Amino acid sequence: MSQVTVVEADEGRPGLDHARASLLGLVRRGPRPVVELAADADLPLTVVRVLLGDLAEAGLVRIDEPRWPAAGDPATDPELLREIVARLREL
């Protein structure tokens, strides 16, 4: 998942509408995945992506590419993933 980080930490930013200012406020709490921001803002993911694009273009946030687990990381173990799926199905 892409992580969003605030670039400019000052509180006052004239010219931002309510939606962008609210989203920027959520990002100021710390680096967050885009999908988490969409859930917390109670907005569709596509809307949040457009708003974040505007904020990134203005130099207010940085959007980092997703980081993939390294080889040997437990998250890449197919047997572990099968076990998790099996346990979830049992629920």
Q: Print the SS3 string covering 20-64.
A: HHHHHHHHHCCCEEHHHHHHHHCCCHHHHHHHHHHHHHCCCEEEE
SS3 80: helix
Domain that holds residue 50: 3-90
Number of domains in the chain: 1
Looking at the chain, which runs of residues are DSSP E strands?
Answer: 3-6, 32-33, 61-64
The predicted pLDDT at position 8 comes to 64
What pLDDT score was predicted for residue 74?
A: 77
CATH of the domain at 52: 1.10.10.10
Alpha carbon separation from 72 to 12, 69, 77 (Å, rounded): 45, 8, 7
Model pLDDT, residue 88: 94
Banded pLDDT at 12 (limits 50, 70, 90): low
Q: What is the pLDDT of residues 16-74, one digit of tens each?
A: 888 898 898 898 888 889 999 999 999 999 999 999 999 999 889 988 887 777 777 77
Q: How confident is the model at residue 78 (pLDDT cuts 50, 70, 90)?
A: confident
